[in-house]
Structure 1
């Protein structure tokens, strides 16, 4: 009987140990598995190093404007790289050849052995000109000088010159040449002419001298201030300046118009003479 009780007691102890072991093992699995899953599922990954360009419409627009501005200010031969289908073409003398297809412009450029330069891209169609290499070089120099003049505007220099109305023609010619040299340098020239001692001198002689000086420089100089009395009426003074770009163009247009009128008159006279002979 005692042996049977002892055996039951040992069996009970083993059963309890097994239950405790199972419970403990289950508890350990519940604690460790989620941790392992967490480590596996949420382990940080190293990102791939990729170079990407930041997207910005403002920066892109500024870059495009800079490129466009650079291309517009660059004066050079475009060759065959004409983006527009129809363009307006000027020849090497500035004559308007009208609108033409870019293929025709390229063919004309090759036939005349010239370069094609963009003159104005803001017009419709854009304006191009056929030019020689020498013309392109000279135009670049002119544009460079213009830009320098804009960047460094200097004060206007005024030269002064005084002489008598009894001046001899030879001396007047010499002074006129000196005045022209100053005017070509964009100086202003203040001229004062004193009345001569000759009583028989015409009243308008001094004004005639001023006009004669200006007439020696057609298309170059004009009056900044007309002759006016100074020194109590004993002298006349005026200021002469260089023509502006607009005035130079107007003078050139006037000369062309006058030449055209003369040619038309000559052609008309020739036609009339031919009719008379017939």
Structure 2
């Protein structure tokens, strides 16, 4: 009896230990799974964020390098790093010293304590100038002043103006002055002229008004888009813009030629009348 009872106690102890081991293993597996899944989910977006940030910083660095390189190539002291074997040299006063070997140029720089700056690298041979440190500093100040004085190009804005073909002459003159002010400020002006409802008018009256407005601004504006019918012929639209520098020069030349011809004709008429009086 005692042996049987001892055997049962041993079996029960073994079952209890197995159950505890299974429970502990189950909890351990569940905990490992729960910890592994969130870490996997949380770490998923990290590579994309890191890659994106790295690409952005690379672009910024590249832009800075390009700006720095542009500024350096504009006007800089090349020192002793002369890539070409033979170069055209100007002295500090701008006098041409002729083609020189780079070794001779380096010796001249060391002897007179001068710097070397590129003037026309695309020439054959490339042109450089010897300058003092003060001259380089003053030249950089001058170039910066020129850059600040230049107007920065921006997007061309468009002004819109709509009125009826029944407009009176006084109102048309007022609108023409407003359009001219916009054109002088480098705006584009979109003009829409609607056909009058109560009066009978020629078919081309709306186009004539557009041409009339343009004629009030000789040498200032031209058509960016010529008058064309819209809304089934119930309106006409055109776009005016300011003249380019090339167009302004051509217009001034044409106006000068016309004035010269008019003066010549006037002098010729005066001469003819004087001859008749004699």
Give the number of the structure whose alpha-carbon radius of gyration is greater. 1
What TM-score results when the alignment is normalised by the length of structure 2?
Answer: 0.50
TM-score norm. by structure 1 comes to 0.50
Higher helix share: 2
